[in-house]
Amino acid sequence: MTDTTPDEVDRIARAAKDAFAATVRTDDRTRAAWLRRTADAIDADAAALIEVAARETALPADPRLVGELARTTAQLRLFATVVEEGSYLEATVDHPDPSATPPIPDLRRVLRPLGPVGVFAASNFPFAFSVAGGDTASALAVGCPVVVKAHPGHPETSRRMASVVVRALAEAGAPEGVFALTEGFEAGLALVDHPVIRAVGFTGSVRGGRALLDRVAARPEPIPFYGELGSLNPVVVTPGADAARGAALAEGLAGSFQLGAGQFCTKPGVVFVPAGSAVEAALPAHLLTPPRLLTPAIQDGFAAGIERVSAVPGVEVVATGEAGDGPAPLVAATDVATLREHAHALLEEVFGPFTLLVRYASPEELLAAIAALPGGLTATVHREEGEDVAALVSHLEEISGRVLFSGWPTGVAVSWAQHHGGPWPATNTQFTSVGATAVRRFQRPVAYQDAPESLLPPALRESNPLGIPRRVDGALVVPR
């Protein structure tokens, strides 16, 4: 299959706009049915999808790809439930109050879909963050047609998944043009530039995301860009935790930073340990022989990152594993002073099986180091009962979107409460790309003032015909 031409992108985008004229009028149950039908179709084609993905990516079929495909269909079904439940609309009703200052007219507010969305698939999750991944699912759920830019690291997987999705949506009665796949670098640029596209979702590197963000901003009419980019995902091991269970923590850390050959967006890339820690002493025994990395670009980037970190004076190699089809895993270590002096070199994500230990000598030194960190998706604390970590947690909240205790950041549950985002460069927005509220990215608020009942969206009509939770005159009303 050849790359999608700019003319083809134009045709696809205009078909998406035509589809939006229908999807914007669909009800939640109808769109939920589209998502469930798509999930069922993916499950039915699971064996073939997994076979193609395993061949293209070298990721193990079981449990990795089996689990990831199950996550993908679970996401689709979750968003079906989200839109049926109805609170995602944030329906709000203010009845007239002439005694207020200033007087309040009849005001009713609801979230509406933005329009056609461009989605850039990720390299490291060929299913869950790709063609039918969370961005696609959350956009379709609220009525936004989706045009996906496939990742070149798994083109056959992308094409097969796209064919399953297109067929399932057609069988479910969705309008033609509601979903399409494009391929190629130029196609991606044409998609970002197209005036029909109302938002862009991206999962990938800081460099690639920044380039797209700048391009979106340069459009005659800028649009939202939702980028999930790089993250160091710092981990802090307190002196008490190190003394009580340092060996076990080393094993857990090794499993986390080498999971998927270190190609998870939530990989712990910097770990703060007490000087002379048991974690550092035990970690070398747990290094593995990794599979090949997903793409040549990731392989080159990993090599460049290791070279950059290793060139910093004051950084030493603690342990290195055996190279297999992929590069040897590596653990380096330094102190807080070196980290702060060379933050530019040391605090850039190295995507692959690498982590940096940072030895600290006091709580004050630790907090100073945390203050130097860029934004991230996660931050993790391992502590013992009785240790005061309130100040530490406060610092970590400022630089991350999810704070974990006594666990490891790899693995992102798909649920109502999940938040997968964080300050730049983790993401460029306050929204999440995983979990129920991911739909908020592809909606905008519209208020109706003194509107006739017959012209109001059903969610705002006085009788609440949808039976959804609403805020009425300031009070949350949940129908029984």
Q: Among the options 183, 265, 280, 365, which is catalytic?
A: 265
DSSP 3-state assignment of 462? coil
SS3 of residue 79 by DSSP? helix
Measured torsion, CA atoms of residues 94, 99, 101, 105, in degrees rounded to the nearest 10: 40
Does the annotation mark 228 as catalytic?
yes
Tokens of 453: 């009942």
Question: Of the residues 68, 144, 183, 228, which is catalytic?
Answer: 228
Supply φ then ψ for residue 47, to 5 degrees: -60, -45
Residues 6+ apart with CB under 8 A from 44: none
- What does the DSSP 8-state code read for residue 19? H
Which stretches of 265-335 are assigned E, i.e. beta strand?
270-274, 316-320, 330-335
End-to-end CA gap in the chain: 53
Other beta carbons within 10 angstroms of residue 58's beta carbon come to 14
Rounded Cα distance, 383 and 244, in Å: 9
The order of strands in the sheet holding 92-94 is: 443-449, 107-113, 92-94, 470-472, 475-477
Pairing of strands 470-472, 475-477: antiparallel
Taking CA atoms, 274 is separated from 239, 279, 336, 343, in Å, by 6, 9, 11, 19
Which H or E element spans position 209? helix 206-217
Inter-residue contact 208 to 34 (CB < 8 Å): no
- Report the distance separating Cα 81 and Cα 410, nearest Å: 25
Q: Which residues, 6+ apart, have CB-to-CB distance to 174 below 8 Å? A: 19, 23, 34
Judge whether 265 counts as a catalytic residue: yes
| Residue 371 burial class via C-beta count within 10 angstroms: exposed 0-12, middle 13-18, buried 19 and up | exposed
Q: Scanning the structure block, which residue is given the tokens 């035990």?
A: 282
DSSP 340-393: HHTHHHHTS---SSEEEEEEESSHHHHHHHHHT---EEEEEEE--TT---HHHH
Catalytic residue annotation: 228, 265
